[in-house]
Amino acid sequence: MTGGDAGPVRIAVIGCGAIGSLYAAHLARVPGVEVWAVDRWAEHVDAIESRGLRISGLADFVAQVHARTDGRDLPACDFGLVATKALHTRAAVEGARAALANAAVVSVQNGLGNEEVIAELVPRVIRGSIVTAGAVMAPGVVRYDARGDSWFGPFEPQPAPMGEIAHLARLLSEGGLRTHALEDARGPQWTKVIFNSATSPLAALTGLPVGRVCTDAGLRRQVDGLVTEGVAVCERAGVILVRPPREAVDEAIAEAYDHEPSMLQDVLARRATEIDVLNGGIAAEGRRTGVPTPLHDCMVALVKGLEKSWSG
């Protein structure tokens, strides 16, 4: 590892959308940390490189972040944060593979299965879960919409050591994003996956923000049904949730009523969604453990059907 007397701690942020930008900017505020971001959006990268990365909303500051459009242009890094859409995980990490060759790499992505892909490409992997939310407003400008803790732990088949995980968690906390290092991070990850899978597809299908989905009587029954299926899968799989997912639903009503989840943003832009790693991930684990998940199967079918409608 670099850092200390040897130089700065270098952190690569792979994917500089809203979440990647928020994490890059907060890390860049920490003394002794050098952040390198990579994203395919050239205008965003050029704005960050020339004017800095501007955060607005719940925080207001400009961070100095090195930004590139090609992962091959990154220097060797100590840590990596993967913040791409799940369907871009493999290509994005492969593109920065040289920079991550001796790095501990954490996924701060949605859904299930990203760590498995990352582990095929880098030596040490961290299981991550976050609830921070935001949106890119213009090249180089990101709105910080919702605060929330992050939870990092070793990815069991190919783990980073707890010392590295705790170090990265301390840096993020110092930068303003409270992060916890855990021996088992499956509970926080599944808590988030269940919440996202219970609300995001319904928002995507109706065009409504999270708060309206969760307060409409008919839609709330579907939300609760999706939560119930997800909890049943966790119980069979031996995953201990950090809190009841319905508490996360109630918190979203209070704190992120007008937030448009990423799946709704994808639908509005007619982009492929992450339905396969959210509801599809729960359904796959349900099949593995013998737990029926008809509502999650239904969400996958409906969102996939909507995606197909765009191509005629």
Q: What is the pLDDT of residues 258-274, one digit of tens each?
A: 888 889 999 999 999 99
Same domain, 23 and 162: yes
Of the three residues 181, 211, 240, the one that is the final residue of a domain is 181
Same domain, 53 and 172: yes
Q: In the 8-state DSSP scheme, what is residue 37?
A: E
pLDDT digits (tens, 9 = 90+) for 162-216: 999 999 999 999 999 999 999 999 999 999 999 999 999 999 999 999 999 999 9
Single-letter residue type at 71 = G
Same domain, 127 and 166: yes
**Token couple for 86:** 């799940």
pLDDT at 297: 98
Of the three residues 181, 211, 246, the one that is the final residue of a domain is 181
pLDDT at 4: 46
Same domain, 200 and 293: yes
pLDDT at 312: 61
**Token couple for 65:** 């972040």
Range of the domain at 82: 4-181
Same domain, 132 and 14: yes
Same domain, 157 and 270: no
Does the structure show a pLDDT above 80 at 226?
yes
- Residue whose tokens read 């923000």: 209
Bridge partners of 274? none
Query: Around Cβ 4, how many Cβ atoms within 10 Å?
Result: 9
CB 172 within 8 A of CB 148: no
Same domain, 163 and 211: no
Of the three residues 140, 158, 181, the one that is the final residue of a domain is 181
Same domain, 207 and 155: no
**Confidence band for 287, pLDDT divided at 50, 70 and 90:** very high
User: Alpha carbon of 295 to those of 34, 171, 225, 227, 280: distances in Å?
Assistant: 45, 40, 7, 10, 11
Percentage with pLDDT > 70 across the chain: 98
Same domain, 54 and 137: yes
pLDDT digits (tens, 9 = 90+) for 121-175: 999 999 999 988 888 999 999 999 888 899 999 999 999 999 999 999 999 999 9
pLDDT at 252: 85
End-to-end Cα spacing for the chain: 51
Does the structure show a pLDDT above 90 at 236?
yes
> What is the domain-level CATH number for residue 284?
1.10.1040.10
Q: Which helix (H) or strand (E) holds 201?
A: helix 186-206
- The answer for 204, left when phi > 0, alpha when psi is -120 to 50, beta otherwise, is alpha
Single-letter residue type at 290 = G
